[in-house]
Structure 1
Amino acid sequence: MLSFITDLVLHLDTHLATLAANHAVLVYLVIFCVIFVETGVVVAPFLPGDSLLFIAGTLAAQQILDAAILVPILLVAAIAGDTLNYAVGSVMRRRTIDTKRLRILKPEHLARTTLFFERHGSKTIVLARFVPIVRTLAPFVAALGRMEYGTFLKYNIIGAFIWVFSLVGAGYMLGNLPLVSENLNAVVLGIVLLSLLPTLIGKFGRTAGPARKER
């Protein structure tokens, strides 16, 4: 499973280009499903959201994908995914389900997302778009925390537009540059590492904090 995910992330451009060449319509459906599932299903935080948006932008720059079709599809997927996630959290809150008993949710992931909310408030829905795992759990935790739907929807739409346009736009602008197109795997890996950086810094901070207190 891990090797499959690694291959998918590092060679996403090849897989999408091949799919687009053989099944022009199907590739848009696949892109929609990946973004929708990653943002809408709390058990799928491992999907390559950031790198997929960037790669999709590079393929649009090379006219393999149509940007006029791609961007609306991504926006709908991102907004609908978060909305579904919020709805699931709302149902669980109303039924007073103890999330600690849900084996599909890792306690450390929930704790990390909750801490993110404590630091950033409602803006978490926007900021979390750029943080793997937190991106997937933020709408769910927002519903559990009784964030009003109107507030959530506003930040959901704003976050989707910023996320999609920034990463697809970056891929579109840089996609035809030889330095990027010839080293796309390295660029994708860099995006993955950058997206994980806030999580690594937070984990290091939590580990270093108790160590400093013991001195």
Structure 2
Amino acid sequence: MNTLTGLIAQLPAAGAYAILAAAVLTESVLLIGAFVPTLTLLLASGALARAGDLNLALVIVTASSAVVAGDVLGHRTGRLLGGRLRTGRFGRRVPTAAWRRADTLMARRGGQAVFLSRFVPVVRTLTPHLAGATRLPHRRIAPYSLLAAPLWAGAEATAGYAAAPSFQHVITYGGPALAAAVAVIAAVALAAHKIRRPVCRQTIV
């Protein structure tokens, strides 16, 4: 386990929730976010909930709230920086591939990109910033942020809760696999919704 994970295991419940919220919120900061082990923390928090040290529902609510707040922060930061988002000291250190993936999501999905990118490390940090930099109104991404936050937090924390006895194994394999599965399901659901909407409009006409 890393330092943060070991720390929340030693803290009182209130301190553990605070560390979890701070870590998830920090992930929204460009560059720094790539180094915050939110996946491991959520899995560890779920495992601690299984042991009775934390409450699983509070873990999910805490992480979800931090996600939504972080997306707001990222959007406002991107709006403030505009074109300097990529060329600034931090932006230049973000891998080109990550920027490219975020660009592709934004171009194809707009506000929906915030939902889909929530399940992709690093890209989930960039997407709200890009939305702000391109002047996409926050109201266009807010519903997707509100939907993705509990799905992501719930999936990871529940994985840790369910497999607490083999926690180290879950950290290595289970979390990323579960996140990928949730992302695929989310993409299929959004695609189905997008296809259904024009059909409904034609029916009304």
The normalised TM-score by structure 1 is 0.72
1:172 equivalenced with 2:172 (yes/no): no
Q: Distance in 2 between matches of 1:46 and 1:74?
A: 17
1:101 equivalenced with 2:87 (yes/no): yes
Aligned residues: 177
| Contact 1:36-1:80 at 8 Å conserved across structures | yes
The equivalent residue for 1:135 is: 124
The equivalent residue for 1:41 is: 29
The equivalent residue for 2:44 is: 55
Deviates more, 1:139-148 or 1:187-196: 187-196
| Contact 2:159-2:170 at 8 Å conserved across structures | no
Q: Distance in 1 between matches of 2:4 and 2:18?
A: 15
1:73 equivalenced with 2:74 (yes/no): no
Deviations for 1:119-169, whole angstroms, at most 9, x for unmatched residues? 443221111111111011110011112222111111111111211122222
| Contact 2:117-2:124 at 8 Å conserved across structures | yes
Pairwise CA distance, 1:43: 2.1
Q: Distance in 2 between matches of 1:167 and 1:152?
A: 22
Q: Pick one of 16, 33, 47 that aligns with 2:8.
A: 16
Q: Distance in 2 between matches of 1:192 and 1:72?
A: 18
The equivalent residue for 2:199 is: none
Q: Superposition RMSD on alpha carbons, in Å? A: 2.5
CA separation of 1:104 and 1:191: change in aligned 2, threshold 3 A: farther
Q: Distance in 2 between matches of 1:191 and 1:51?
A: 11
Question: SS of the counterpart of 2:16?
Answer: helix
CA separation of 1:103 and 1:12: change in aligned 2, threshold 3 A: closer
The equivalent residue for 1:205 is: none
Q: Distance in 2 between matches of 1:36 and 1:84?
A: 9
Q: Percent identity?
A: 26
Gaps (5+ residues) in structure 1? 1-6, 176-180, 199-215
The equivalent residue for 1:3 is: none
Pairwise CA distance, 1:191: 4.5
Question: SS of the counterpart of 1:131?
Answer: coil
